[in-house]
Amino acid sequence: MPRSGEVVPMEQLLSKIRQTIDGRVLKVDLEQEWRVGGRIWVYEAKIITPDGDVLKLEYDARTLEVLELKGRHRKQRDRDTED
């Protein structure tokens, strides 16, 4: 369990997601992971967009910096299948 000051409240994360991504949050997990520089707390958020795309974003739980974005948008998938 994180100590005081190691993570921002999840409500701040949800507010940031609502401001930056058009979609609905399906799930949020808080995990410790090894990154460059040591172990950090990471929020993993799974989001579904209005187009039905599922995105997985990882945020540094202390700063809310986006560490990683996984998922593909429908337009990219359509281009991949046109070949």
Q: Considering its fold, how many domains does the chain have in total? A: 1
Query: For residue 55, is it within any domain?
Result: yes
Which residue from 40, 53, 45 is spatially nearest to 16, judged by alpha carbons? Answer: 45
Query: Strand ranges (DSSP E) for the chain?
Result: 24-35, 38-48, 54-60, 66-70
Say what the pLDDT of residue 69 is.
93
CATH number at residue 15: 3.10.450
Sign of CA dihedral 15, 19, 20, 22: positive
Say what the pLDDT of residue 76 is.
47
Say what the pLDDT of residue 75 is.
53
Query: For residue 73, is it within any domain?
Result: yes
Q: If you average pLDDT over residues 55-61, what whole number do you get?
A: 96
What pLDDT, in 10s, does the model give residues 6-43?
Answer: 899 999 999 999 999 999 999 999 999 988 888 999 99
Say what the pLDDT of residue 2 is.
77
Query: For residue 30, is it within any domain?
Result: yes
Query: For residue 63, is it within any domain?
Result: yes
- Could you list the residue range(s) of the whole structural domain that residue 36 is in? 10-82
Query: For residue 5, is it within any domain?
Result: no
Query: For residue 61, is it within any domain?
Result: yes
State the average pLDDT for the chain.
87
